[in-house]
């Protein structure tokens, strides 16, 4: 069954279809001063019939038959027809939706039978997990949950950056300056130090770059020493990443990584030449790319290939001036070569309706090139780059290459210890405080990210992130916790009394019901646009509606018992939606705080 609001909208649709000679209508939220729930602009139709918009709208409105719909009245403002919901039937429909869908309320089956691959997180081994990768992880995980909730089978693939020239650098540095014991004790920090040292020394002695490329060539050719060292670096990094994923509560279905495609790269290059798409050529310089830092992905591979013969796919005929590099003169692969092989593999394995790449906006050009090249090579996959802006930490943008990084775990730790300080005064045991602080702190970091329009930069503002009154995770978690405590206080007589939606007549009750009714549509919009912030914004408005409701009417201390039971049901459903919605953002709700 369609949800209440969907039903209401399709009723408007069919009423207007009959009345106007048109079949597509926009449904808007009327301005606050208009006492109605949905407004439909009729300017275009008025123009087509050569009439003044207000007169046309009035004429249409007069002829509408509302009998049997969820609406009680229509009105007109300018060229708009406004529809006002009939409270009692609508409330009953919303309660029926909850009863029918239970915990699944808000979800749907629009994606049923279709697969979506989400490429997300994808950090680079031997490097710290950057804040850019944090964004990809948080946004990707949320999209995973949202798309699953609307019926898709989602395959989350962590495309770890574990292959490329940068490993040549690491292997060289380790070979010359490394100490296994030291690295094992503190893998990422030590490997980073080696990496930084490589760049310092290479500035003095450019020949080092050549040696690093030699090491990468050995790696790609399967040299056992290079491979053993690489495997060891990979395992050590993965162990550290897993600690972060565990803490963030993020899981993947696949962690194939770039190295997985090593055996498929020759085929990619051969195909491109066979199809006449690739040519040998020279390039001047390429843009650098990476997830909010200067070291990642393609940037690394492409920096040192200027002024030499490389295999290129030219894309000028397709409006993209920069060619895509797929092989270097020494036969080694690039980021793009591995990505082309990846698309092919994903297409064959999962036959996905879409492949989403949750990667920073800096790689925009790269993905345009990649998707076009894949298409020219015969791929039918619908690839979508889902970009995001940078995270700005209070100290400003950091660079791994120079070594002055902020470690992600320090950021999470800071959020948790600040949350602990907030919980200081509460009547909770120390252990409880620590557990709750973890849920609140991690939730605050995630919400600060997900409540922003994905494509915008995020400034980490601790005060705002943890403000219990503001648009923050703790505010929503606290609203949830408060409802739990009301539920615990309900007496037996209220718990057994029948729920009767027709008893709800107060303005704040209606406003809360309408807010609850908007959840399914919000989820649908977030899934379609890949915008988790729509859910975040919605949850804040739901919590605000709840708080006005709670201020305006007593929940438990009211007569008859069935009115209390019905208000309690409204509170319980609000908590359910808060928990479900936060869950879609990957944020947990504590039971107490
Ligand atoms: N490891 C890359 C980076 O840090 C991101 C990989 C994104 N996924 C992809 N298929 N290219 O920049």
Please, are residues 302 and 288 in contact by the beta-carbon 8 Å criterion?
yes
- Spatial strand order of the sheet with 278-282 comes to 278-282, 309-313, 324-327
Residues 439 and 425: their CA atoms lie apart, in Å, by: 17
Q: What is the mean pLDDT of each run of 10 residues along the chain (593 residues)?
A: 95 93 89 94 92 94 94 95 95 97 97 98 88 93 98 98 90 92 86 91 93 92 92 89 95 96 95 96 59 43 65 95 92 94 98 97 95 97 95 58 63 89 90 94 95 90 84 96 96 96 95 98 98 98 97 96 97 98 98 91
Q: Which residues of 466-504 are buried (b: 16+ CB within 10 A; e: fewer)?
A: beeeebbbbbbbbbbbbbbebeeebeeebeebebbbebb
> Is there a domain that residue 448 lies in?
yes
Asked if 251 and 339 sit in the same domain, the reply is yes
Please, are residues 325 and 333 in contact by the beta-carbon 8 Å criterion?
no
CA of residue 79 to ligand 1 center, whole Å: 49
Residues 504 and 87: their CA atoms lie apart, in Å, by: 9
> Is there a domain that residue 561 lies in?
yes
CA of residue 343 to ligand 1 center, whole Å: 13
Residues 459 and 444: their CA atoms lie apart, in Å, by: 13
Of 376, 397, 418, the one marking the end of a domain is 397
> Is there a domain that residue 103 lies in?
no
pLDDT recorded at residue 526: 98
> Is there a domain that residue 269 lies in?
yes
- The CATH number given to whatever domain includes residue 545 is 1.10.730.10
pTM above 0.85, yes or no: yes
Task: Note down the domain range covering 55.
Answer: 4-85
CA of residue 148 to ligand 1 center, whole Å: 23
- The CATH number given to whatever domain includes residue 56 is 3.30.1360.70
Considering only CA atoms, which of 485, 476, 441, 487 is closest in space to residue 578? 476
* Strand-strand pairing, 324-327 and 309-313: antiparallel
pLDDT recorded at residue 395: 59
pLDDT recorded at residue 308: 74
Residue 419, Cβ density class (10 Å: 0-12 exposed, 13-18 middle, ≥19 buried): buried
Asked if 422 and 337 sit in the same domain, the reply is no
Residues 576 and 593: their CA atoms lie apart, in Å, by: 17
Residue nearest (by alpha carbon) to ligand 1 atom 11: 339
CA of residue 363 to ligand 1 center, whole Å: 9
Pocket lining for ligand 1, CB < 6 angstroms:
119, 122, 124, 159, 161, 290-291, 296-297, 339, 342, 357, 359
CA of residue 553 to ligand 1 center, whole Å: 52
Angle at 153 between CA 148 and CA 154, to 5 degrees: 70
pLDDT recorded at residue 456: 92
Residues 182 and 236: their CA atoms lie apart, in Å, by: 12
Pocket test for ligand 1, best of 261, 359, 365 (most atoms within 8 A of CB): 359
Asked if 184 and 327 sit in the same domain, the reply is yes
Q: Prior bond to 560 cis, omega within 30? A: yes
pLDDT recorded at residue 293: 41
Pocket test for ligand 1, best of 159, 165, 254, 345 (most atoms within 8 A of CB): 159
Of 397, 417, 452, the one marking the end of a domain is 397
Task: Looking at the CA of residue 291, tell me the nearest atom of ligand 1.
Answer: 12
Residues 266 and 253: their CA atoms lie apart, in Å, by: 27
DSSP 226-287: HHHHHHHHHHHHHHHHHHHHHHHT---SB--TGGGGGGGHHHHHHHHHHTT-EEEEE-S---
């Amino acid at each position: 069954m369609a949800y209440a609001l969907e039903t209401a909208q399709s009723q408007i649709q069919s009423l207007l279809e009959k009345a106007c000679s048109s079949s597509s209508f926009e449904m808007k939220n009327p301005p606050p001063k208009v006492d109605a729930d949905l407004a439909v602009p009729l300017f275009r139709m008025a123009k087509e019939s050569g009439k003044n918009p207000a007169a046309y709208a009035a004429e249409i409105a007069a002829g509408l038959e509302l009998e049997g719909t969820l609406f009680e009245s229509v009105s007109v403002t300018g060229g708009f027809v406004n529809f006002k919901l009939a409270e009692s039937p609508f409330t009953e429909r919303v309660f029926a939706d909850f009863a029918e869908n239970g915990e699944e309320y808000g979800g749907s089956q629009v994606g049923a039978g279709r697969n979506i691959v989400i490429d997300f997180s994808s950090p680079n081994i031997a490097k710290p997990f950057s804040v850019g990768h944090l964004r990809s992880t948080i946004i990707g995980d949320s999209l995973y949950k949202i798309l699953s909730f609307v019926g898709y089978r989602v395959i989350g693939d962590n495309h770890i950056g574990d292959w490329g020239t940068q490993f040549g650098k690491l292997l060289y540095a380790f070979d010359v300056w490394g100490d296994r014991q030291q690295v094992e004790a503190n893998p990422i920090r030590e490997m980073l130090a080696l990496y930084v040292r490589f760049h310092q020394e290479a500035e003095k002695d450019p020949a080092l770059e050549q040696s690093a490329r030699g090491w990468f060539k050995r790696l790609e050719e399967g040299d056992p020493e290079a491979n053993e060292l690489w495997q060891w670096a990979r395992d050590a990094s993965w162990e550290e990443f897993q600690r972060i994923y565990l803490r963030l509560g993020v899981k993947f279905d696949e962690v194939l990584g770039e190295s997985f495609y090593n055996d498929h790269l020759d085929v990619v290059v051969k195909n491109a030449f066979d199809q006449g798409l690739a040519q040998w050529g020279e390039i001047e310089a390429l843009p650098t790319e990476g997830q909010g830092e200067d070291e990642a992905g393609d940037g690394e591979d492409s920096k040192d290939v200027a002024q030499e013969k490389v295999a290129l796919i030219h894309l000028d005929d397709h409006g993209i001036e920069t060619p895509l590099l797929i092989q270097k003169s020494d036969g080694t692969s690039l980021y793009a070569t591995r990505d082309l092989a990846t698309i092919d593999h994903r297409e064959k394995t999962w036959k996905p309706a879409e492949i989403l790449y949750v990667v920073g906006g800096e790689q925009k050009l790269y993905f345009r090139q990649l998707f076009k090249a894949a298409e020219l090579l015969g791929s039918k996959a619908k690839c979508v780059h889902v970009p995001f802006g940078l995270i700005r930490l209070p100290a400003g943008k950091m660079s791994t290459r120079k070594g002055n990084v902020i470690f992600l775990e320090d950021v999470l730790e800071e959020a948790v210890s600040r949350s602990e300080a907030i919980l200081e005064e509460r009547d909770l045991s120390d252990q409880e405080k620590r557990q709750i602080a973890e849920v609140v702190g991690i939730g605050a970091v995630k919400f600060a990210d997900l409540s922003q329009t994905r494509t915008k930069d995020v400034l980490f503002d601790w005060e705002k992130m943890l403000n219990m009154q503001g648009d923050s995770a703790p505010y929503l978690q606290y609203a949830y916790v408060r409802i739990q405590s009301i539920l615990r206080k309900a007496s037996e007589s209220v718990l057994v009394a029948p729920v009767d939606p027709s008893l709800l007549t107060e303005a704040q009750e209606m406003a809360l019901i309408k807010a609850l009714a908007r959840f399914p549509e919000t989820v649908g919009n977030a899934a379609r646009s890949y915008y988790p912030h729509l859910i975040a914004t919605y949850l804040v408005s739901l919590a605000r509606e709840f708080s006005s409701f709670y201020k305006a009417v007593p929940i438990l201390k009211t007569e008859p018992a069935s009115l209390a039971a019905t208000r309690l049901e409204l509170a319980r459903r609000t908590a359910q939606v808060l928990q479900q919605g936060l869950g879609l953002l990957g944020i947990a709700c504590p039971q107490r705080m």
